[in-house]
């Protein structure tokens, strides 16, 4: 789990929207992309982003 206060500070690097926490990634519903969470650390890098399309 990501601390809610930390989650509030995080934003999508593409569109700056708020992110929501899913089971093992953070989701941007605007871009329909996910940022992986590994060992409780969200990876907020362009190369870490995966698409949620389909
Ligand atoms: Zn976004």
Q: How many domains are there within the chain?
A: 1
Distance 43 CA to ligand 1 centre (A): 14
pLDDT at 1: 77
8-54 confidence digits (pLDDT tens): 999 999 999 999 999 999 999 999 999 999 998 999 999 999 999 87
Length of the chain: 54
3-state secondary structure of 8: helix
Distance 40 CA to ligand 1 centre (A): 21
Distance 23 CA to ligand 1 centre (A): 18
State the residue range of the domain holding 44: 4-51
pTM of the model: 0.89
CATH assignment at residue 17: 2.20.25
Q: If you compute the radius of gyration of the chain from its CA atoms, what whole number of angstroms results?
A: 10
For residue 22, CA distances in Å to 4, 30, 48 come to: 13, 15, 16
């Amino acid at each position: 789990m990501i601390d809610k206060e930390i989650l509030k500070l995080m934003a999508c690097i593409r569109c700056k929207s708020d992110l929501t926490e899913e089971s093992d990634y953070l989701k941007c519903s605007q871009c329909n992309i996910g940022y992986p969470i590994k060992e409780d650390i969200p990876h907020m890098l362009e190369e870490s982003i995966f698409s949620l399309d389909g």
